[in-house]
Structures are given as structure tokens and as C-alpha cells.
Structure 1
Amino acid sequence: MTWTVYLSGEIHSDWRDEIARGSMTAGLAVIFTRPVTHHEASDDVGVALLGSEPDKFWHDHKGAQINAIRTRSLIEKADIVVVRFGEKYRQWNAAFDAGFAAALGKPLIVMHQDEHAHALKEVDAAALAVTSSPEQVVAILRYVIDGDLPGYTDKAASR
């Protein structure tokens, strides 16, 4: 089985690539999907495709709706959803994605730094794992997908 993992959240670092590289190195059967991470393209998709809007609210609204088509479809198809909250910005969209995944009953892995634990306590409570690094996410995926926990062997398999 090939697992599909949706990578949501912060777009200002290479955490997605780190998870993909670590998963490839581990030989995991996984496909990663993601939102559009080009910030300006994501913001401007509505007006680029449907026409300009003089009011910023409607400009953003059009873009959010079109982005939601992609996001909702990919989260619905995912076997696991990983949501990263970055250090710099309030990522309301990431919180929404986490809530949407939780509402669908999708296994949710959340990643953020310790200083955000209080602000994200409700999101963390909905997650099946809370991590602070891409390496921890890869370790979880390795265990979940292959049943591999380094340092442990399956006694039944070694018989």
C-alpha cells in the first residue's frame, strides 16, 4: 500500500522537503500532497482566474474559495494529515486544516515549537501526535507505515 500524506501549514521554510527526503531515505511507500505554497499565487488565484476585485475582502474571499477546492479534496484523500505551525505568523489556515482533518477523522500529526503549546492546546488535543521537528514526523511515518521502531525487533518475524 502507498500512503498519501497531506502536508499543511507554514510555507516559509523547507520542512516539507525535509520530510520528503527523510521518507525517501527510509524507503517509505508514501506520496506527499500539499497546498499551493507560492504565497502570491495562492493569494491572487481568485482574481487571476475570475477577475479583479477592488475590495480586498472579496479579493481574498475568491482566492480562499478556490484554494479550498484543492485543500479539501487533498485532505479528504489523505491517509494522514501533517500540519506545521511556524514561528512567525498566525496561521489560521493551518488551524482550519487541522480542524477539518480532525472532523473527517483523519489521523493528524501536528508540528510546532514548544512556545506555541498553550496557543495550540485545542489543536494538539485533536492530534494523534504532536512533534517539534520533521525528523520526528518521519520517525512516526516509518513506524506507522513499516512498523519499524529502530532498536526493536519483531520476535515473531525473527522466528
Structure 2
Amino acid sequence: MIWTVYLSGEIHTDWREQIAAGAEAAGLPVEFTSANTDHESSDAAGDFLGKPENNFWRDHQSSKVNAIRTKTLLEQCDLAVIRFGDKYKQWNAAFDAGYCAAMGTPYITLHDEDIVHPLKEVDAAAMAWAKTPGQVVELLKYVTA
């Protein structure tokens, strides 16, 4: 079986690449999917429909266009890894975690220890909490064996 793993969350570090490289090096039967990780093009996802003058409506329009991809890929994945970084509030990642929990899709959270408290509800529904991409790879080795 090939596992589809959705990688959700912060876009400012190379954690996705680290997990993909580790999985490839271990020969794991996984394929990875993700939201658009290019901030600028994500913000402009709906602009081709007509760019609203008000930023609220631009964000609203683009978030709906982005949700076509996100919703579809989350619904198709076997497992999600949801990364919370330390620089920005990742409300989209928290939303993805809640969506996974509601669908019954297992997910792993990936974050540092210093944000355990604000993520307590998100972590409570997770199947595991990892602190490093390497730990995620080890979890993938175990669950795909």
C-alpha cells in the first residue's frame, strides 16, 4: 500500500523537504501532498476571478480557491502531518487539524515544546506529537511497515 501523507502548516522552513528526503532515503511507501506553499501565489489564488478592492474580500476569495485543493487533498490522505512553527500563528494549520479530527483522519502534530500549552486541544486529538522532522520519519517507518 502506498500511503498518502498530507503536509500541512508553516511554510517558512524546510521541514517538508526534510521529511520527504528522510522517507525517500528509508524507501518508505509514501507520497506527499500539500497546500500551495508559495505565500504570494496563495494570497493571489482568486485574483484571476477579478481582484476585489477590499483586502478582506480578496482574502476571502483566494481562501475559497485554495480550499478546493486543501479540502480535496485532506479528504484523500491516509495521514496528515501538521506543523506549527514559532514565528507566525498558523490558523490554517489549526483548521486543518480540526478538519482531520472531524473526518476521523489521523494526524501527527509537529512543533516545539514551548507551544504545547496553546496547542493542547489540537495535540489531544492527534495520534502523535513530534518535535522534529526526523521523528516524523521514524513514525512513518513504523506505521507503514
Which category of TM-score, normalised to the shorter sequence, fits these structures? over 0.9
* Correspondence for 2:27: 27
C-alpha distance in structure 1 between counterparts of 2:133 and 2:94, whole Å: 18
- In structure 2, the gaps of 5 or more residues are none
Equivalent residue of 1:120, what SS? helix
- In structure 1, the gaps of 5 or more residues are 147-159
Q: Taking structure 2 as the reference length, what is the TM-score of the superposition?
A: 0.99
Q: Whose Rg is larger?
A: 1
C-alpha distance in structure 2 between counterparts of 1:90 and 1:121, whole Å: 15
Equivalent residue of 2:45, what SS? helix
The answer to whether residue 100 in structure 2 is matched with residue 105 in structure 1 is: no
* Correspondence for 1:4: 4
1:133 Cα deviation from its structure 2 partner? 0.5
C-alpha distance in structure 1 between counterparts of 2:21 and 2:82, whole Å: 17
* Correspondence for 1:40: 40
C-alpha distance in structure 1 between counterparts of 2:127 and 2:45, whole Å: 33
C-alpha distance in structure 1 between counterparts of 2:141 and 2:120, whole Å: 26
Residue type at the aligned position of 2:88: Y
Q: Taking structure 1 as the reference length, what is the TM-score of the superposition?
A: 0.90
* Correspondence for 1:124: 123
Residue type at the aligned position of 1:45: A
C-alpha distance in structure 2 between counterparts of 1:55 and 1:107, whole Å: 37
* Correspondence for 2:49: 50
Post-superposition CA distance 1:88-110 (Å, at most 9, x none): 00010000001001111001100
C-alpha distance in structure 2 between counterparts of 1:79 and 1:34, whole Å: 13
Number of aligned pairs?
Answer: 145
* Correspondence for 1:71: 70
C-alpha distance in structure 2 between counterparts of 1:6 and 1:28, whole Å: 15
C-alpha distance in structure 1 between counterparts of 2:73 and 2:29, whole Å: 18
1:45 Cα deviation from its structure 2 partner? 0.9
C-alpha distance in structure 2 between counterparts of 1:113 and 1:46, whole Å: 33
The runs of at least 4 consecutive aligned structure 1 residues that moved more than 6 Å come to: none
Equivalent residue of 1:119, what SS? helix
C-alpha distance in structure 1 between counterparts of 2:5 and 2:51, whole Å: 34
Residue identity over aligned pairs, in percent, reads 56
1:57 Cα deviation from its structure 2 partner? 0.4
Residue type at the aligned position of 1:133: T
C-alpha distance in structure 2 between counterparts of 1:106 and 1:80, whole Å: 6
- Counting helix residues as a fraction of each chain, which structure ranks higher? 2
Post-superposition CA distance 1:61-81 (Å, at most 9, x none): 001001111001000000001
1:52 Cα deviation from its structure 2 partner? 1.0
